[in-house]
Structure 1
Amino acid sequence: MITGLIIGTLLGFILQRARFCMTGGFRDVYLTKNNTMLYAFFIAIAIQGILVLGFVETGALTIKASTFSLFGTIIGSLVFGIGIILAGGCATGTWYRAAEGLIGSWVALAFYMILAATMKYGALSGFSQEVSSIARYPDSIAQTTGIPQWLLIIIFTVLTIYLARKILKKPKLKVASLPAKHQGILHILFEKRWHPFVAAAIIGILAAIAWIASSQTGRNSGLGITTPSANIVTFLITGNSDLLDWGVFLVLGIFIGSYIAAKGSREFKWRLPSSATLLSSMIGGILMGIGASLAGGCTIGNGLTKTAIMSWQGWISLTFTIFGVWIAAYFVYVRKRKTTQPALT
Structure 2
Amino acid sequence: MTTVPATWPRRLLGGPGHQVEPTFTRAPTASPANRLVVAIGLVIWVALAAATWGVAGPRMAGVLGLGLALGFTLFHSRFGFTGAWRQLVAVGQGAALRAHMLMLAVATVLFSIILPFGLSLTGSATPMLNPVGIPLFVGAFLFGVGMQIGGSCASGTLFAVGSGQTTIVYTLVGFVLGSMASIATFTFWTKTVPQGPTVNLAATLGYPGALAVSLLVMGGIVAATYAIARRRNPPPVEAPPTDRGVRRLLRGSWPLWIGAVLLGVLNAGVLVVSGQAWGVTSAFGLWGSKIAGVLGADPTSWAYFHVPANAKSLAGPVLADRVSVLDFGIMAGALVASALGGAFVLHRSVPWRTIVAALLGGVLMGYGARLAGGCNIGAYFSGIASFSLHGWLWGLTALVGTVAGLALRPLFGLANPKPSDSRC
The alignment partner of 2:399 has SS state of helix
Conserved in 2, the CA contact under 8 Å of 1:67 and 1:136?
Answer: no
Conserved in 1, the CA contact under 8 Å of 2:127 and 2:386?
Answer: no
What does the per-residue CA deviation read over 1:246-298, in whole Å, with 9 as the maximum and x for residues that have no partner? Answer: 11100000100111111111111111321111111111111111111110100
CA 1:198–1:107: 2 relative to 1, 3 Å: same
CA 1:162–1:313: 2 relative to 1, 3 Å: closer
2:93 to 34, 38, 45: 34
Give distance in 2, aligned partners of 1:110 and 1:320.
Answer: 24
CA 1:51–1:106: 2 relative to 1, 3 Å: same
1:241 to 316, 328, 341: 316
The alignment partner of 1:68 has SS state of coil
CA 1:273–1:308: 2 relative to 1, 3 Å: same
> Is residue 127 from structure 1 mapped to residue 188 from structure 2 by the alignment?
yes
CA 1:161–1:194: 2 relative to 1, 3 Å: farther
Give distance in 1, aligned partners of 2:140 and 2:69.
Answer: 27
Give distance in 2, aligned partners of 1:185 and 1:6.
Answer: 21
Conserved in 1, the CA contact under 8 Å of 2:68 and 2:331?
Answer: yes
Aligned residue pair count:
322
Give distance in 1, aligned partners of 2:133 and 2:92.
Answer: 29
1:298 to 371, 375, 395: 375
1:154 is displaced (CA, Å) by 2.5
- Partner residue, 2:392: 315
- Partner residue, 2:212: 154
What does the per-residue CA deviation read over 1:134-155, in whole Å, with 9 as the maximum and x for residues that have no partner? Answer: 1421321344xx4333223124
1:51 to 110, 118, 122: 110
> Is residue 228 from structure 1 mapped to residue 228 from structure 2 by the alignment?
no
The alignment partner of 1:147 has SS state of helix
- Partner residue, 1:329: 406
What does the per-residue CA deviation read over 1:60-82, in whole Å, with 9 as the maximum and x for residues that have no partner? Answer: 24436965141000010000100
CA 1:54–1:176: 2 relative to 1, 3 Å: closer
Unaligned 5+ segments in structure 2 are: 1-59, 231-235, 295-314, 417-424
Aligned Cα RMSD in Å?
A: 2.9
CA 1:49–1:110: 2 relative to 1, 3 Å: same
TM-score relative to the length of structure 2:
0.69
> What one-letter code is carried by the residue in structure 2 that aligns with 1:202?
L
CA 1:140–1:162: 2 relative to 1, 3 Å: closer
Conserved in 1, the CA contact under 8 Å of 2:130 and 2:373?
Answer: no
The alignment partner of 2:197 has SS state of strand
> What one-letter code is carried by the residue in structure 2 that aligns with 1:241?
G
Conserved in 1, the CA contact under 8 Å of 2:379 and 2:394?
Answer: yes
- Partner residue, 1:256: 332
2:173 to 93, 104, 110: 110
Conserved in 2, the CA contact under 8 Å of 1:7 and 1:250?
Answer: yes
